Structure 1
Amino acid sequence: MCRLSYIVILSFIHVFLVSFSCYSQRKELDEEAYQKWRRVDSYKLSPDGKWVLYRYMYFDNDAANEVTRNIYYFYEVKTGRTSTLECSDTPEFFAGGEWIAYDKSTGDDVIRVARCLRNSKEIPLREGMELNPEIPLVAYQTNDTLVVKGLEAKDSLMLTGVGTYYLYDKDWKIVYLKREADSHVIYFGSRNKAGKYECIYRDNTKRLDHFYFNEWGLDGGFSFDGKEGEKGYYTFSLKTKLVEELLNNDKIGEMNIDTRSVRQLGTSKRVMFEKRKKAQAAKPKGKKDESFTLELWSWNDPVIPSQQAISGYRPQKLTPEKFMSDATNGKCFQLCEAGHPELYMAETDQPTYAYEKDETPYLDKRDWLHDARFDLYLVNLATAEHRLVAEALTRRVYWSPNGDYLLYYDNNKRSWVILEPGTFTRKVLADEIPYPLYDELYDRPNPAPSYGIAGWSTDGKQLIVYDRFDIWVVDLSGATDTYCWTKEEGRKRNTIFRLFNIDWDIVRVDVKGECRVMSTDWTTKNTGVWTLSPSGKLTPQIEGAFMLTISQQSTDGKTLLCTRQNYQEDRDLWIADASFRKMRKITNVNPQRADYKWGTMQQVEWTNYAGKTNQGLLYLPDDYDKNKSYPTIVTFYETHTPEMHIHPVPGLSHAMIDIPTYVSKGYIVFQPDVYFEIGNPGKSSYDAVVSGTKALIDRGIIDPKRVGLQGHSWSGFQAAYLVTRTNMFTCVNIGAALINLTSVYTGIREESGIPCMLMYEDWQCRMGTTLWENLDGYIENSPLLFADRIHTPALIFHCDKDGAVSYYDGRNLFLALRRLQRPAWMLNYVGEGHFLGARPAQKDWTIRLEQFFNHYLKEEPMPRWMKEGINIHERGYDQKYDF
């Protein structure tokens, strides 16, 4: 053997031994570890893309946070250097990102300063100063003096006699109301032309009032009060330099108009207004009878007394009538009667229609409907005609950008619908797109949501809409055919494609240019970024086994601030260029994680008892050996695989187990996905959870004699149901569970005062009917009624101030198991709610929960609190953690 090969082998052995030594010396996660865990907080990318601002905050260490909350880090993208800044609040970028404003401590005082990031120059600021986002300018007003100050060039401005003012455009042009000695004047002009502002309106007989300005249209309006009591309403335009009267004194007096309510419709000469309210003397209530208190529950009350008591109760006030006045033809007519809903108009220059959302028909049904329903009406602003469009809608309604189409989601058709107001013709997109536009996996009784819309084309003539995987383009007028922009590649690849949207709102999309697209592989849950050409060509930029989120981008779009994470990789900040060819991590939030046992996570798949493919997450300890036996906990809620790449944060338990901690201590943890059949939630859970656990047993991954079960709240119900149908689990923790649907159906959620029935008929509990329509189903899904079948040792967690699930449910289950003489313990942290909020209670629960599972799954001794109990005289004196 040559010497070089020998040296290489020795080096390899050395590295292996060192790595193995470090690996074996890793510690188990504990309370001390929890207090070291941090998150990246308050992060921002400067608009010019040159700087990243962030700080570190601890998840569970208030003392450390008192120090770190005031330490900010500035990462310079070009050089990779990081500097620190002590600041008593969140710094704010302005002037394109070259300056920040922040509060600086100086001894006992705190002052506001502006700091130039190029040269660290600092300038004191007044509190409440307005900051220019584009250039180094600040502005403030003192009494009637307006000051606009340049921080670098000597271009400051001072104006006196200023009332209301508006600064607009990136270089801060100005329009303002000036109160002169004998008149009111509206001036406008460029900031750097002091003394040369144009006068758009002057009057020495009237006091201008309610002056407003719309930057997007460069227009505005104002009302006035004359010396003789006359009133009027005017509109003005900086584009045309015209001022026009829309309401004169006679019209205001004749119609008794409240000038504060006047609203101009775009740039038209039409205004909406309300009448001035008549002052009404308050009716005397008389003397209150306090000899007794009566709580009256009426079947037709809009809000029941329990909800009134918590939310407060105010009788519904009728909205006033609305009127329309058109200065072009002198017409004035009533637009809406008293009690009408809000009017929503398109933000266009000449709106012709509005829509209303009338919730009135559904107000008395809110006790059993989770989603607020409304009827949609189209209102003709020229004729005041109100026309019903659709009933029982639940989703947002949109005007197209040009105001010529109305878009709504019809729950019955399970489709987006485009309405052309003038002809009242509809286009149902489900008739044009061959795949469902509603969430096909949605498993609750209330109407399934849509996959959403991405936005509108830049000219406002096309709608971009999603199916489950792909992106479609719809011509609003129908002049061209609807087409799949992504050419159904998403469906072929089993990958979800969504247009990148930094603001998570409806946007304008350039369908003729290249767009950025985010991807999620439904099979692996890997995420990525692609480019989408106008012709539909998809090109990957980055993709991998992580969750990638673009949180901000520079103004020019060339620099991106991202977060990237998976089970092994913490949620750090990354900086990337637009192509993602250059991407680097800029924070190291929790380097100490390498010192702790963490385990691995993988997605597993099996066929459930309903004959469907089921997925789940399987967590294995670092030293997992398939030939050894490990304790296992099955814990779940609904679906978990879509979040498989979210990095967990270890910590004390608020209710459920902390998965990284249990994996660190040698446990296998299994999280099966559960999709529900309406009317059969218990059986659905059984088909998924029991089948998945059995599949892992059959594969030799887990020991059938060492499998614990845990659920809380909704999954607490599922856990309770499962142990009435199977004895495969060694022990079970049932937390804050619904255990008798027949009684809880008419219960009250104490946190809100709202009846529970909406949870069953229309929401999470998935019965989908009233109790009386499916009495057998409600009985079948009530674990308490089958408690005699429970032979699994149970630890019940339920606190007496639980506002979501009645404490009596947990206590009833315990009493049933006590009567049946089955091993059961119940922990009530007095004064705590659905989850534990107080840290001492969290710490105690974390200890006892682990001791319970360790006893049954690791064969550790039973602690004294389980053997002896804790009587009322021992509370607080002897916690009995010992054996």
Structure 2
Amino acid sequence: MLKLIALFPMRTKSFLFLFFILFTALVWPGHAQEHKRSLSHDDYDGWESVSQTTLSPDGKWVGIEVSLQDGDGRAQLIPTSKGMSGIKVPRLKRLNFSEDSHWAIGLITAESDSIRLMKLKGIDKSEFPMDSLFVMDLESKSIVKIPGVENFQLPDERKSWYAYEVRNDTTGSQKEEKNDNRDEEKTFTLHIERFGKKRAIVRENVSKYGFAPNGERLFFVQNFPGNDQAASQLRLLDLESEKEITVLDSLVQYRHMVFSEDAGRFAFLGSRQSAKDSVEFFDLFYQEGGQQLLRKELANKTISEHYPLRFSKDGQKLFFGWKEPLRSYVYASDTSILDEERVSVDIWGWQDAEIQPMQLKNLEDKKEESFVAVYHIAEDRVLSIGDPNTGEVHFNPDYTTDWAIALNDRPYRKNYSWNIQIGKDLSRVSVKTGQVDLLAREVVGSPRISPGGRYAFWYSNPDSTWMAYVLKTKEEIALTTGLEDIFYDDLHDSPSFPGSNGHAGWSADDRYFLVNGKYDIWKIDPKGEEAPVNLSNGHGDVNQVRYRLIDLDPDVHFVDLDQKLVFSGMDMNTMESGFFIADACGRQDPEVLVFGAAAFDGLKRAENGSNYLYQKSTFSHPPDVYLATGPFKNSRQLTHINPQQEDILWGSAELVSYRVHDGDMMDGLLFKPENFDPEKKYPMMVYFYERSSTTLNRYRAPVPSASIINIPFFVSNGYLVFVPDIQYKIGLPGPSAYDCVVPGVQAMIAKGFVDPANIGIQGQSWGGYQVAYIITRTNMFKAAGAGAPVANMTSAYGGIRWGSGMSRMFQYEQTQSRIGGTLWEKPMHYLENSPLFYADRIQTPTLIMHNDADGAVPWYQGIEFFMALKRNSVPSWLLVYNGEDHNLRERKNKKDLSIRLSQFFDHYLKGAPEPLWMKEGIPAIEKGKTLKYELSEE
């Protein structure tokens, strides 16, 4: 550069010097950071995430779908061989590959901006642009796009065929001509094609269709508008020969059409009544080869249209549902009573198994309650294998074994309002005879049947032990008794039985049971013939690395111990993580595939086993997709989502430790702004729920808030954010939070870079309660945000969780609220842990959000808290989003809350002007007319 300047006259040197300064600012990292900006609320919509990844069966192609929070995403088709170019397709979704890996298929959705513009113009939805089918030859890179497609399907296996729906332009006129006794189902033109073949099979006026799992056959239902004589036709098509048969043409409704796995057998439910009829009756139909069609009935019972049909994997049994005949009620059928004269009343009875709100919440499920029956095909015999007294029946995944299990909680259901760990009676059920044999009463756990159908197994919560029953002999087995490991959640700190660390499944033929200890994974012989084997060789316990088996083939219901096992692993001291490989012998430590200070997720393997996909992220780097080969001998990054982040001030995350009031050491997370200067004083936000330290390396995208502060937004805008872990003592949930949060904040202040005069605190739900309690004990926080807080445990105890219809008693006696007794057993615990009764001590300005359709915490709790603050003249605001639930669902409301949260805390912690909604409020007469985000001039 100096030589270059010497060649120019003096008058040009000043220009070149300026050019040099500008060039350096652009390319030199230290200077480039000066041109970065903070996150704004306008950044949310365009933020990207990987919504789906898939590998072609031969492992040579990767499909990746990238979505925007609000807007049109894209898909990428990337070859795994280096040097080959990929392709990006805007708005492509549901990307999949053919069986031979030669073709890619998906759906290109209509442009969201076009849809929005048409909505603004009031254009009818039927006129909106439709999607297009995308089919690509991966070898030649040629692409076919078929417009006007509403949907498409592929077989579950052998994806050589595909079918797609093209909307009929005459749909509206067809409805007018339909027979009144027939369902007004939307019809379309069905196109069925084979990858690589130009000829299509086309059928008009189709309303339903579906492939056999192996892709050899297809069913479809055709409706014929204007034909008063013929009902809909159900037809079967052999895809290879194109031979087509009519199964039935005399029914109005067809439901739950299903093929056996080999496509040789077919079953469905059919009815001659329309869905509009007050009473519908369905029959079970079974077809096997040619025109043979059998109609099956169940004596003294009604076939249930709500229970899906299912063939056993071997095709020998067909499972279906039945229901009790409809009861006739004199009052309901009395036509002499006017509607305005009919009584509408809910009667709550002490003897009811479920309280009325829960009954009403589950009303539709109750109307559709079904019990299982089986058709033994070879014997042409129908058998009921469950009834209301049997309980819920469970089968092995393939439905092939001679035994099922039944779980019946009816004898204990009355206690569910205050005891969510009620027991269940466990029985075995013979699929051959229907005989029910009781195995155990009041089992506290969730028994399931092993994949091979030999065992009922469960984690017994009271015993902290994995148990099993041999279904054939009714022998009870304690699977984990005597093993030197911890099989329960040892961080459990609520007044209930602790849960387990989970299990990893069963090996083929139920030979071994794989179960998680605190750190390691065990292989257990349920027969007791072999000693238990630690599959991770004890490495987890010695090094405090938590290993868990990864299921790389979700279509297979057992763990293949003849193959290498792939584990996830996390160092519980540093929160580093990665993937490991091990064998079924447990004689060696797991071998590292990839490991580091990052979060590794979404591991997938190609069917040929040669290539792997995974996502890697940190707080500072979004979860991009990586391809590993070999396995993991070579790894390369395939995506670079959110390139705009490079121009935005971000930050870093670190694990911090501190001593709490009882002397124990606790962990927390501290997020620091980019270009952090330890000599400066920063405002700090404190957010928490229970424990979050294991999420150290998790990427947190900037998203509009459903209820809590968005950490990257606040960090990008110059805040520190501290997230402490909480450990609880039974009966003292409020003091426990105080004893962990306040010492943690003091430890952060002691580091020297926190401005002690400008610290805020925010939480939602359980976090909102803890915030409300903490500010009754300290004034160290300059502003507080409490979302959906329980302020008064005495009134909340008798309240309802309207989302489920459950009483809230269980929450205080057994779970999160951690009182550990009834209101009458521990009245002072309820009072002393309730912020409402100490609201006169609060001086912290507080922003509350509590919505009027909250299904978890009763809305009146937020009102009680707000009115207490208002009565004591504490600056406070209550945000109530109409029709919204516990956490916001509508994106427009999330954006609104995000703005108000940042304005609230910016005002109190950074001295920003007060927004008008805080200063003036928004009177009811102005509701919906103004948002008052504007900042006051004073």
Q: Scaled by the length of structure 1, what TM-score is found?
A: 0.80
Aligned to 2:490: 440
Q: Is residue 406 of structure 1 aligned with residue 427 of structure 2?
A: no
Contact 1:653 1:845 in 2 (8 A): yes
1:40 to 47, 50, 58: 50
Contact 2:403 2:429 in 1 (8 A): yes
Aligned to 1:117: 138
Aligned to 2:612: 560
SS at match of 2:43: helix
SS at match of 1:430: coil
Q: Is residue 50 of structure 1 aligned with residue 60 of structure 2?
A: yes
**Structure 1 residue 255 displacement after superposition:** 9.7
Contact 1:390 1:410 in 2 (8 A): no
SS at match of 1:388: strand
- Equivalent positions of 1:356-505 (< 5 A) are 356-370=406-420, 373-380=423-430, 386-393=436-443, 395-502=445-552
Aligned partners of 2:424 and 2:735: how far apart in 1? 34
Q: Which shifted more, 485-494 or 443-452?
A: 443-452
1:772 to 810, 824, 841: 824
**Structure 1 residue 689 displacement after superposition:** 0.8
Aligned partners of 2:647 and 2:543: how far apart in 1? 39
Question: Cα 1:454–1:350, aligned 2, differ >3 Å: closer, same or farther?
Answer: closer
Could you tell me which amino acid in structure 1 is paired with residue 656 of structure 2?
A: V
Contact 1:560 1:575 in 2 (8 A): yes
Q: Which shifted more, 380-389 or 734-743?
A: 380-389
Contact 1:682 1:718 in 2 (8 A): yes
Question: Cα 1:220–1:344, aligned 2, differ >3 Å: closer, same or farther?
Answer: farther
Contact 1:321 1:338 in 2 (8 A): no
Aligned to 1:721: 773
Q: Is residue 93 of structure 1 aligned with residue 94 of structure 2?
A: no
Aligned to 1:202: none
Aligned partners of 2:365 and 2:162: how far apart in 1? 43
Q: Deviations over 1:420-448 (max 9, x none)?
A: 23432222123132212122213344443
Contact 2:346 2:356 in 1 (8 A): yes
Contact 1:550 1:560 in 2 (8 A): no
Question: Cα 1:487–1:759, aligned 2, differ >3 Å: closer, same or farther?
Answer: same
- Equivalent positions of 1:189-268 (< 5 A) are 214-215=260-261
Q: Is residue 881 of structure 1 aligned with residue 935 of structure 2?
A: yes
Aligned to 1:610: 662
Could you tell me which amino acid in structure 2 is paired with residue 29 of structure 1?
A: L
SS at match of 2:501: coil
Q: Is residue 856 of structure 1 aligned with residue 908 of structure 2?
A: yes
Aligned partners of 1:133 and 1:667: how far apart in 2? 52
Question: Cα 1:281–1:361, aligned 2, differ >3 Å: closer, same or farther?
Answer: closer
Aligned partners of 1:155 and 1:829: how far apart in 2? 55
Q: Is residue 735 of structure 1 aligned with residue 745 of structure 2?
A: no
Q: Is residue 817 of structure 1 aligned with residue 820 of structure 2?
A: no
Q: Deviations over 1:60-105 (max 9, x none)?
A: xx4xx1xx34x43222221352213356653432233221234579
Q: Which shifted more, 467-476 or 792-801?
A: 792-801
Contact 1:454 1:506 in 2 (8 A): no
Aligned to 1:228: none
SS at match of 2:755: coil
Question: Cα 1:630–1:293, aligned 2, differ >3 Å: closer, same or farther?
Answer: same
- Equivalent positions of 1:290-689 (< 5 A) are 290-291=340-341, 293-312=344-363, 339-346=389-396, 351-370=401-420, 373-380=423-430, 386-393=436-443, 395-502=445-552, 507-536=557-586, 537=588, 538-689=590-741
SS at match of 1:650: coil
Contact 1:446 1:762 in 2 (8 A): yes
Q: Which shifted more, 71-80 or 559-568?
A: 71-80
SS at match of 1:480: coil
Q: Deviations over 1:388-409 (max 9, x none)?
A: 3334446543333433322222
Aligned to 1:711: 763
Q: Deviations over 1:239-278 (max 9, x none)?
A: xxxxx99x999xx999999899999988799999999988
SS at match of 1:690: helix
Q: Once superposed, what is the RMSD of the aligned Cα atoms?
A: 4.9
Contact 1:36 1:58 in 2 (8 A): yes
**Structure 1 residue 485 displacement after superposition:** 1.7
Aligned partners of 2:405 and 2:641: how far apart in 1? 49
**Structure 1 residue 670 displacement after superposition:** 0.3
SS at match of 1:90: strand
Aligned to 1:206: none
2:75 to 72, 78, 91: 72
Aligned partners of 2:851 and 2:213: how far apart in 1? 56
Contact 2:669 2:696 in 1 (8 A): yes
Question: Cα 1:263–1:340, aligned 2, differ >3 Å: closer, same or farther?
Answer: farther
Question: Cα 1:93–1:323, aligned 2, differ >3 Å: closer, same or farther?
Answer: closer
Aligned partners of 2:106 and 2:75: how far apart in 1? 11
Aligned partners of 1:282 and 1:716: how far apart in 2? 48
Contact 1:502 1:550 in 2 (8 A): no
**Structure 1 residue 462 displacement after superposition:** 1.1
Identity across the alignment (%)? 28
**Structure 1 residue 746 displacement after superposition:** 0.9
Q: Is residue 21 of structure 1 aligned with residue 21 of structure 2?
A: no
Contact 2:390 2:407 in 1 (8 A): no
Question: Cα 1:333–1:504, aligned 2, differ >3 Å: closer, same or farther?
Answer: closer
Aligned partners of 1:213 and 1:337: how far apart in 2? 26
Aligned partners of 2:917 and 2:595: how far apart in 1? 51
SS at match of 1:366: helix
Q: Is residue 84 of structure 1 aligned with residue 84 of structure 2?
A: no
Q: Deviations over 1:139-187 (max 9, x none)?
A: 79999xx99865448999999xxxx9998796x667999xxxxxxxxxx
Question: Cα 1:388–1:774, aligned 2, differ >3 Å: closer, same or farther?
Answer: farther
Aligned partners of 1:233 and 1:867: how far apart in 2? 69
Q: Deviations over 1:265-315 (max 9, x none)?
A: 887999999999889877524525735654432222344344455554676
Aligned partners of 1:702 and 1:521: how far apart in 2? 29
Question: Cα 1:278–1:508, aligned 2, differ >3 Å: closer, same or farther?
Answer: closer
Contact 1:26 1:596 in 2 (8 A): yes
Aligned partners of 1:806 and 1:259: how far apart in 2? 37
Aligned partners of 2:823 and 2:848: how far apart in 1? 26
Question: Cα 1:881–1:754, aligned 2, differ >3 Å: closer, same or farther?
Answer: farther
Contact 1:640 1:672 in 2 (8 A): yes
Q: Deviations over 1:495-554 (max 9, x none)?
A: 111122135688433334432221111112111111113442221121011111134321
**Structure 1 residue 671 displacement after superposition:** 0.3
**Structure 1 residue 844 displacement after superposition:** 4.6
Could you tell me which amino acid in structure 2 is paired with residue 43 of structure 1?
A: T
SS at match of 2:752: coil
Could you tell me which amino acid in structure 1 is paired with residue 466 of structure 2?
A: W
Q: Which shifted more, 84-93 or 470-479?
A: 84-93
Aligned partners of 2:877 and 2:304: how far apart in 1? 68
Contact 1:848 1:881 in 2 (8 A): no
SS at match of 1:705: strand
Contact 1:47 1:97 in 2 (8 A): yes
Question: Cα 1:83–1:680, aligned 2, differ >3 Å: closer, same or farther?
Answer: same
Q: Which shifted more, 734-743 or 442-451?
A: 442-451
SS at match of 1:846: helix
Contact 1:212 1:221 in 2 (8 A): yes
